[in-house]
Structure 1
Amino acid sequence: MKSKLVCLCSLVTEDEIKDVLKKGASSTTEIQEYTRAGTTCGRCLPEIDQLVEYHNKKNKKGPQLKKDF
């Protein structure tokens, strides 16, 4: 099954954006730098923002408890 096309101007798919997020990107600006998505007309920016927000919430780590023994 083909991944959904998110950015029509730069031909960037949802899977490509998710791959960049998995590699460590954590902002829309970083997605734009690595894929060029959202850098032409901007119509896809809300969807990119949503993907970034979902990824960041899903992978958020809480504060680590350190205890000296």
Structure 2
Amino acid sequence: MARKLVCICNLIDESEIKSVLEKGAETTSHIQEFTRAGTSCGRCLPEIDAIVEAHQKKKPKNQQGKLELGL
């Protein structure tokens, strides 16, 4: 499978970004901090944002606890 480069300046591919997301990163800023993607020219930031957003949509929602009203 061919690498899909997202950040050409820092040679970061989509699989590296997804790996960081799986390890707990939650924002584009986290991706920038851990991979340096999007920290040079910034042209890839919209694509990184889209990858982060798609990952967040796939994450299971936290179950809410039972609401105690004290009635």
The one-letter code of the counterpart of 1:61 is K
TM-score (norm 1): 0.89
How does 1:1-69 map onto structure 2 within 5 Å? 1-66=1-66
Deviations 1:24-44 (A, max 9, x none): 000000000000000000000
Aligned counterparts of 1:53 and 1:4: Cα–Cα separation in 2: 18
Displaced runs of 4 or more, over 4 A: none
TM-score when normalising by structure 2: 0.86
Gaps of 5+ in 1: none
Q: What count of residue pairs does the alignment treat as equivalent? A: 68
Secondary structure of residue in 2 paired with 1:30: helix
Identity %: 62
Q: Which has the larger radius of gyration?
A: 2
Gaps in structure 2 of 5+ consecutive residues: none
CA RMSD of aligned residues (A): 1.7
